[in-house]
């Protein structure tokens, strides 16, 4: 692709986007499982079984969820860019 005039970013973008999509999908599944665990396990069962104990709630998961997704996105982009810079000779 470089021989026909493509820039370095044009060559690396599909690899970075693939990593970003895979990481976002994994983080979304993790946040979804965390929500399900808190909603059904903690709020539904543990809070009734142990009423004097303070547990996290669904609102806490909704606060942490976007932070997890943002952190995963940044980490995926940085690691992908570093790996491509090291191993992809353009």
Given a cut of 90, whether residue 11 has pLDDT beyond it is no
CA distance 65 to 57: 12
Q: How far apart are the first and last CA of the chain?
A: 9
User: What's the pTM value of the predicted model, to 2 decimals?
Assistant: 0.81
Quick one: average pLDDT of 43-68? 91
Residue 53's SS3 state is coil
**Over 90: is that where the pLDDT of 9 sits?**
no
Share of the chain above pLDDT 90, in %: 64
């Amino acid at each position: 692709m470089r021989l026909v005039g493509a820039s370095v970013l044009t060559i690396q973008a599909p690899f970075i986007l693939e990593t970003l999509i895979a990481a976002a999908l994994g983080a979304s599944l993790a946040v979804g499982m965390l929500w399900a665990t808190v909603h059904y396990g903690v709020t539904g069962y543990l809070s009734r079984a142990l009423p004097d104990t303070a547990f996290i709630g669904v609102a806490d998961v909704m606060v942490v969820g976007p932070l997890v997704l943002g952190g995963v996105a940044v980490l995926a982009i940085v690691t992908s860019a570093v790996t491509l810079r090291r191993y992809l000779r353009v």
